[in-house]
C-alpha cells in the first residue's frame, strides 16, 4: 500500500510531459475543426511539449495554437496555450523556472479580464501541482486551497481532462494527510473514465490506497476488488500484478499468510515479465520482511538477494537500501551470523544518517528558497510601490492644475454663479415644499378615508349585531343548534367590534392625524378629563350614536349616557379660556 501510487504519479506526469501524445496529439488544423470547446481544450493540453530541452522548438511547435486563439479571439484556447507553454518549460528545465511562472501569470491575468471559474480552478490546480512536483509544498498551498474553493462553483462537465486534474488535487490532499478529500475528488472523477481502461483501474486503486491510509480497510478492500475486476477486463497484466500486491498486504493484515504470500509472488512474476523492475524490487523486499516475521530465515535471505539485484544506484532507491540493510541485519541475527548482523546494522545506520541528512538538506533548500522568494516579493513590492508613488505624484500635479483653472473660472463667473445658485436653491426648496405638501395631503386623504371607513364599518356592525340579537331571541327555543351558530357569530363579531386598549392606541394615532391637536387641546383645556373621556370625545367627533359607542366600549347604552353626563359636568366646571365647543357636542 505504501508504494502503489507510484504508477498513478507516472501516468499523470506523462500527460504533463507529452509522452502520451502519440495517442492523443493532434495537429492545429484538426484542433481548429473541433466544435466541442471542452474536447478542443483537451486536444491543446495534450499537444507534444517534450523537445529534449530545446525551448525554441517548443515555442515554434505551440505558436500556431496562439495564432489560432488570437484569430478566433478564443480566450479558452489562449489560456490553454499559456498552460502548455508553462508545462513545456517545466519539462525543459526539470525544475522551477521563471518562464513557466511567467506563463502562469499571463493565464491568471487573462482570466482577470475574462473570468471563467472552470479555467481558474484548473489553472490553480496545475500551478499548485507544478510547485508540488518540485517540492515547493508551502508555495503550492494557496493554489490548491483556491482550486478547492472553486470546486463548488464549477460545472465538472466543462472541465477538460477532469480525471487528470482531479488526480492532481487528490495527490496533494493525500500528501498533506487529508485522505477524505482526496477520495472525494477521485470518486467525482470516476464517472469520466472509460470502463476497462488503465485510467479507471488507476483511479479505483488510488481510492483504495487513500481509504487504507485512513484505516478504512474494509472499504479499501472493496475498491481493490473493483480495481482487480477492471484490470482483468482490460487484460492489463501490469496492473493485475500491482493490485495483487496490494491485496496481499490486506490479506497479511487479516492473518491470511499463505494467501498473502501467493499474491505477492504473483505480483513479482508479472512485474518481472513486463520489466516493471521497481515494483518487483518493492514486492521482493515486502515478501522478505514477511518471511522474517515467520522466522523463515533462508527464504527471507533469498528474497532480499532478489531485491538487492533489482536496485539501482540512484537517490530514489536510498530509502529502500536502508530498509534492505535493516532486513538483512534481522536475517543475520536469526541465522546466528553475528559478524554479518553488525555489518548490516552499521550499513543501515549509515544509510539512515544519509537519508536524514538528505531530508535536512531539502529543508534547508526550502528555507533558502523561501528567503529568496520573500526577497523577490519585496523587490516586486518596492517596484510596485515606486510605480504607485509616481502615479500619485502625476495625479496630484494634475489635480492642482485643475484646481487652479477652476479657481480662475470661479473668480471670473463669481457673480453669475451666485445668482444661479441662489435661484437653483430657491427652486429646489419650492419643489421640496411642494413635494412634501403633496405627500402630506395624500397621507391625510388616506387617513380620512380610513377613519370614514372605520365609522361606516361601526355603523354597519351595529345593524348586524342588532339583527343577530333579534334572531337569537326569535330562535332561542325553536332551534338550539342554529342558536349556537348564531351566538358564535355574534360573539365573534363583538370581539372584533370591541375597542381594546391596543385598538384604541391605533385608532387614536389615526384620529390625531385627521384632527390634529383636537385631543391634546381637550387635555390642556380640561385637565380633569380621563383617557376614557377622550374616547367619548373622539367618538362624539365622529358623530357615533350611543348604541354604537356602547358596542365599541363594551358597556350598556345607559352607561354611555351616564359617562357623557359626567363628562359634561367636568367640562362645565372648567372655565379656562372660555372654551365651550366640546360642551355643545355632548347631548
Whole-angstrom distance, CA of residue 65 vs CA of residue 53: 20
Nearest in space to 182 (alpha carbons), one of 412, 5, 358 = 5
Half-sphere exposure of 560 (CA within 13 A, CB side): 21
336: left (phi > 0), else alpha (psi -120 to 50), else beta?
A: left
The pLDDT value given to residue 237: 84
Place of cell 499468510: 257
* The three cell numbers locating residue 310: 533489482
Does residue 534 contact residue 526 with C-beta atoms inside 8 Å?
no
**pLDDT of 585:** 58
pLDDT of residue 157: 93
pLDDT of the residue at 3:
41
HSE toward the beta carbon, residue 283, CA cutoff 13 A: 27
CB 173 within 8 A of CB 184: no
Q: In the numeric block, which cell numbers belong to residue 482?
A: 342554529
- Spatial distance between the Cα atoms of 142 and 132, rounded to a whole number of angstroms: 12
The helix (H) or strand (E) run that includes residue 332 is helix 318-335
Per-residue pLDDT of the chain (587 residues; tens, 9 = 90+): 444 343 344 334 444 444 433 334 578 889 989 999 999 999 999 999 998 889 999 999 999 999 999 999 999 999 999 999 999 999 999 999 999 999 999 999 999 999 999 999 999 999 999 998 887 887 888 888 889 889 999 999 999 999 999 999 999 888 878 899 999 999 999 999 999 898 999 999 999 989 988 888 889 889 988 988 988 898 888 888 888 888 888 888 888 888 888 888 888 888 888 788 888 888 889 888 988 888 989 898 898 898 888 887 776 678 888 899 899 889 888 888 888 888 888 888 888 887 776 555 445 444 543 454 455 456 657 777 888 888 888 888 988 888 888 888 888 888 777 777 777 787 777 777 766 666 656 655 666 666 676 676 666 666 666 665 556 556 555 555 554 554 555 455 445 556 677 777 877 777 877 778 788 888 888 888 888 888 888 788 777 788 777 777 777 888 888 888 888 887 877 755 454 455 555 66
Residue 529 has, within 13 A of its CA and on its CB side, a CA count of 29
Cα–Cα distance, 555 to 563 (Å, whole number): 10
Give pLDDT, residue 359: 55
pLDDT given at position 532: 81
pLDDT of amino acid 542: 76
Closest CA to 201 of 218, 226, 220, 179: 226
What pLDDT score does 2 carry?
41
- pLDDT at residue 426, as a whole number: 79
Helices and strands in the chain, H and E counts: 27, 0
Instruction: State the pLDDT at residue 481.
Output: 59
pLDDT recorded at residue 186: 95
Q: How far apart are CA 333 and CA 168, in angstroms?
A: 44
**pLDDT for res 430:** 75
Amino acid at each position: 500500500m505504501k508504494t502503489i501510487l507510484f504508477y498513478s504519479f507516472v501516468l499523470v506526469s506523462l500527460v504533463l510531459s507529452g509522452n502520451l501524445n502519440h495517442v492523443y496529439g493532434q495537429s492545429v488544423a484538426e484542433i481548429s475543426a473541433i466544435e466541442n470547446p471542452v474536447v478542443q481544450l483537451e486536444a491543446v493540453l495534450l499537444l507534444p511539449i517534450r523537445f529534449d530541452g530545446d525551448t525554441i522548438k517548443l515555442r515554434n511547435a505551440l505558436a500556431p495554437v496562439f495564432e489560432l486563439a488570437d484569430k478566433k479571439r478564443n480566450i479558452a484556447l489562449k489560456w490553454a496555450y499559456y498552460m502548455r507553454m508553462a508545462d513545456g518549460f517545466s519539462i525543459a528545465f526539470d525544475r522551477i523556472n521563471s518562464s513557466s511562472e511567467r506563463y502562469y501569470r499571463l493565464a491568471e491575468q487573462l482570466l482577470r479580464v475574462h473570468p471563467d471559474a472552470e479555467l481558474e480552478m484548473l489553472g490553480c490546480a496545475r500551478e499548485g501541482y507544478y510547485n508540488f512536483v518540485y517540492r515547493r509544498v508551502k508555495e503550492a498551498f494557496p493554489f490548491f486551497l483556491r482550486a478547492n474553493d472553486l470546486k463548488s462553483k464549477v460545472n465538472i462537465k466543462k472541465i477538460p481532462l477532469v480525471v487528470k486534474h482531479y488526480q492532481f488535487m487528490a495527490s496533494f490532499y493525500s500528501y498533506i494527510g487529508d485522505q477524505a478529500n482526496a477520495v472525494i475528488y477521485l470518486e467525482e472523477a470516476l464517472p469520466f473514465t472509460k470502463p476497462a481502461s488503465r485510467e479507471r483501474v488507476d483511479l479505483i486503486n488510488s481510492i483504495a490506497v487513500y481509504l487504507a491510509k485512513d484505516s478504512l480497510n474494509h472499504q479499501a478492500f472493496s475498491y481493490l476488488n473493483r480495481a482487480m475486476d477492471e484490470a482483468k477486463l482490460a487484460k492489463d497484466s501490469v496492473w493485475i500484478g500491482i493490485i495483487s500486491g496490494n491485496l496481499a498486504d490486506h490479506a497479511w493484515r487479516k492473518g491470511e499468510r499463505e494467501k498473502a504470500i501467493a499474491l505477492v509472488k504473483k505480483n513479482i512474476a508479472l512485474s518481472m515479465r513486463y520489466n516493471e523492475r521497481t515494483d518487483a524490487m518493492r514486492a521482493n523486499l515486502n515478501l522478505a520482511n514477511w518471511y522474517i516475521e515467520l522466522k523463515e530465515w533462508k527464504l527471507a535471505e533469498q528474497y532480499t538477494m532478489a531485491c538487492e539485484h533489482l536496485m539501482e544506484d540512484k537517490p530514489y532507491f536510498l530509502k529502500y537500501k536502508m530498509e534492505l540493510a535493516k532486513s538483512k541485519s534481522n536475517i543475520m541475527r536469526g541465522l546466528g551470523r553475528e559478524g554479518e548482523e553488525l555489518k548490516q546494522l552499521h550499513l543501515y545506520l549509515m544509510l539512515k544518517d544519509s537519508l536524514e541528512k538528505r531530508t535536512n538538506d531539502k529543508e534547508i533548500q526550502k528555507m533558502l528558497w523561501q528567503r529568496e522568494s520573500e526577497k523577490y516579493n519585496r523587490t516586486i513590492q518596492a517596484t510596485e510601490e515606486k510605480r504607485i508613488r509616481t502615479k500619485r505624484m502625476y495625479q496630484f500635479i494634475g489635480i492642482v492644475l485643475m484646481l487652479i483653472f477652476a479657481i480662475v473660472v470661479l473668480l471670473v463667473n463669481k457673480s453669475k454663479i451666485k445668482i444661479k445658485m441662489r435661484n437653483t436653491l430657491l427652486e429646489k426648496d419650492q419643489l421640496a415644499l411642494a413635494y412634501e405638501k403633496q405627500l402630506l395631503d395624500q397621507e391625510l386623504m388616506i387617513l380620512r378615508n380610513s377613519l370614514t371607513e372605520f365609522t361606516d364599518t361601526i355603523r354597519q356592525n351595529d345593524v348586524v349585531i342588532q339583527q343577530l340579537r333579534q334572531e337569537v331571541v326569535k330562535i332561542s327555543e325553536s332551534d338550539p343548534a342554529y342558536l349556537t351558530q348564531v351566538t358564535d357569530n355574534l360573539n365573534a363579531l363583538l370581539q372584533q367590534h370591541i375597542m381594546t386598549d391596543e385598538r384604541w392606541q391605533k385608532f387614536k394615532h389615526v384620529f390625531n392625524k385627521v384632527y390634529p391637536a383636537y385631543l391634546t387641546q381637550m387635555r390642556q383645556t380640561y385637565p380633569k378629563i380621563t383617557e376614557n373621556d377622550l374616547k367619548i370625545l373622539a367618538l362624539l367627533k365622529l358623530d357615533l350614536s350611543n348604541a354604537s359607542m356602547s358596542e365599541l366600549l363594551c358597556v350598556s347604552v345607559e352607561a354611555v349616557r351616564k359617562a357623557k353626563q359626567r363628562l359634561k359636568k367636568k367640562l362645565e366646571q372648567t372655565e379656562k379660556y372660555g372654551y365651550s365647543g366640546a360642551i355643545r357636542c355632548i347631548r
